[in-house]
Amino acid sequence: MATAARRGPYFCGIDAAMDVVAGKWKSLILWELHHHGIRRFAELRRGLPGVSEKMLIQHLREMEEDGLVHREVYREVPPKVEYSLTEHGVSLNVALASLGEWGTARMGRIGAEKISGDVAATARR
Amino acid sequence: MATAARRGPYFCGIDAAMDVVAGKWKSLILWELHHHGIRRFAELRRGLPGVSEKMLIQHLREMEEDGLVHREVYREVPPKVEYSLTEHGVSLNVALASLGEWGTARMGRIGAEKISGDVAATARR
DNA sequence: CGGCATCCCCCACGATACTG
DNA sequence: CAGTATCGTGGGGGATGCCG
């Protein structure tokens, strides 16, 4: 069963926000959806090298439950499902922007490498 | 041995930032140190109800290794150790501010409760 | 006071296989 | 294509006890 966020009680706002973003891939899913607007399941998979099918769907479901992601199902053959950010999800991404800049600066500071596009999934421990 | 951040490679800045903040209490430690400036070990413990001694010291060491926290040891009897944020740690906290506001807003949205205590009580705007 | 050492548990996460 | 189902595991994290 998907657990999603524990929904409190929290120590403070950061605690509540981290709860929703906790999970190995959630912030990356946010990032991916933010930059592409709408993405199909397979597109998301390709955008997140190394993610397993199971974790991707699980995180997506939890984020949907938390009101961050919208899931649109098209009853066709072959199946087609589109994921996008809700208003709430967009606002979270905006709030994450400054953190992203900090992280980028830190990467330069410590000389960390960046995973570009479809470079090896194995790069990630 | 403490692992601290994996130090890359990363997908993006958010990835790098989340890596450093990942851990059940790290963001809360940041918050606590930010609002009190300098704190002794026992003070931090009291400010984070529920944290175990082991996790607190482990997270503090990792954050020190990541350059976020400064550890000042006084060779006295009884022992005295003071923790504070480095410049880098302060900048991370600044970057976390907007996320904290988002989380606070979300708490209202979903009707989550707040853990009352030193951390929450000292939060002011 | 401020740690470090140990034991142990749970579950987030991964791998694999199958389905509408 | 977009999922389910199931099993196994690593390590994050809790509890407890000892030490300078």
Where do the domains of chain A lie? Answer: 13-112
Contact B27, A15 (CB under 8 A): yes
Chain A, nearest residue to B66 by Cα: A110
* DSSP conformation class of B89: H
**A4: how many CB neighbours lie within 10 A of its CB?**
19
Contact A60, A23 (CB under 8 A): no
Q: For residue range A45-62, list pLDDT tens digits in order.
A: 999 999 999 999 999 999
**Which residues of chain B lie closer than 8 angstroms to A15, CB-CB?**
27-28, 103
**The domain made up of A13-112 is a member of CATH 3.30.360.10:** no
B66 vs B59: CA distance, rounded Å: 10
* A10:B117 CB<8 A: no
Q: For residue range A98-124, list pLDDT tens digits in order.
A: 999 999 999 999 999 998 754 444 444
User: Cα-flanking dihedrals φ and ψ of residue A121, to 5°?
Assistant: -70, -20
Residue type, A8: G
Chain A, nearest residue to B97 by Cα: A14
Q: Regarding predicted confidence, which is higher, B125 or B22?
A: B22
Q: For residue range B79-111, list pLDDT tens digits in order.
A: 999 999 999 999 999 999 999 999 999 999 999
Please provide the DSSP assignment of A43-98 as one string: HHHHHSTT--HHHHHHHHHHHHHTTSEEEEEE--SS-EEEEEE-HHHHHHHHHHHH
